[in-house]
Structure 1
Amino acid sequence: MDESNLPPKLRVGLNRCIGWIESVLLISITLSTIAAIGEEFYLIYQNGYVSLSDILLLFIYLEILAMVHQYASHGKLPVRYPIYIAVIAIARYIILGMKEMDSSELIMLSVAILILTASTTIMRIGHHYWPYNKMPEEK
């Protein structure tokens, strides 16, 4: 059932325009992420060693590329991908600033990771037991 109040010609044109904007942004995000990965490898080469924070940053870049791929392939973005990025970012933040953190800040960040991972687990379990209904194919 079509619920849009826009005239069909306007709706088609608007959808096409938004589709092009999405494509340009996806390409921009992909190229920017690849450039950031190249920069990180260059910094690793300059330093002469790989630290744990470097590896975690590369994982963040990998998750961004996975999100772009998922969106480009299926037109949908699972909520869990940004959650994975947030968990890795918090872990990286903890590792980089652990010496300067007090115990309460460390506990709060650990609880944040726990909440994020628990929410992902709950979503995955819910999706397993109550999967989404398939949308009917558009004509």
Structure 2
Amino acid sequence: MPELPMPAIKRHGKHMFAAIEYAGLLLVLMATVVAAAQEVRSMMHNASVSVTDLLLLFIYLEIVTMSSVYWHTGRLPVRMPLYVAMVALARHMMLDSTKLTSLDILAEAGAILLLGVAVLLVRYGHTRYPYLDENGHSRTIS
């Protein structure tokens, strides 16, 4: 069996990892669409829509948006998972409000506040210290 030169191995490796990455991205996207459809079906079956249902749909929408951005740019903006975490914590507080102690509620509210501050810091960092491409031009990734 002839030996492959290193550039060929690197090229094939990059293609293999890209294929795995896109397959995983499609899997996440399909699972998100199925979960959102199940949630809508559940809301229709119950003939009611609650705020927690809407927050869950927003989480699904944000995951679809993350997938879209990642598909088009090859990069995942840091802010998007932070938004998902903020909405998920708010939803958890609403769902389990009767089970949470006052300290739990304060801790979760503090976590949401910290995530909000993180979003602001990331936004500030991207405007103050933008990413540069190979030519030294500013790129926006938020």
Q: TM-score, normalised by structure 1?
A: 0.91
Give matches, 1:1-139, under 5 Å.
Answer: 7-136=6-135
| Deviation of 1:135 (Å) | 2.9
Which aligned segments of 4 or more residues in structure 1 are displaced greater than 3 angstroms? Answer: none
- Amino acid of the residue matched to residue 14 of structure 2? N
CA distance in 1, matches of 2:78, 2:129: 16
| Deviation of 1:124 (Å) | 0.2
Partner of 1:65, secondary structure, is helix
- Amino acid of the residue matched to residue 44 of structure 1? M
Number of residue equivalences: 132
Which residues of structure 2 form unaligned runs of 5+?
136-142
Q: Deviations over 1:4-38 (max 9, x none)?
A: xx921110010011111111111111111110111
CA distance in 1, matches of 2:16, 2:28: 18
Which residues of structure 1 form unaligned runs of 5+?
1-5
Paired residue for 2:140? none
Q: Deviations over 1:53-112 (max 9, x none)?
A: 000000000010011000000010011111110000000000001111111010000000
CA distance in 1, matches of 2:16, 2:72: 19
CA distance in 1, matches of 2:8, 2:125: 39
CA distance in 1, matches of 2:126, 2:16: 33
Q: TM-score, normalised by structure 2?
A: 0.89
- How large is the Cα RMSD of the aligned pairs? 1.4
Identity %: 34
CA distance in 2, matches of 1:123, 1:25: 26
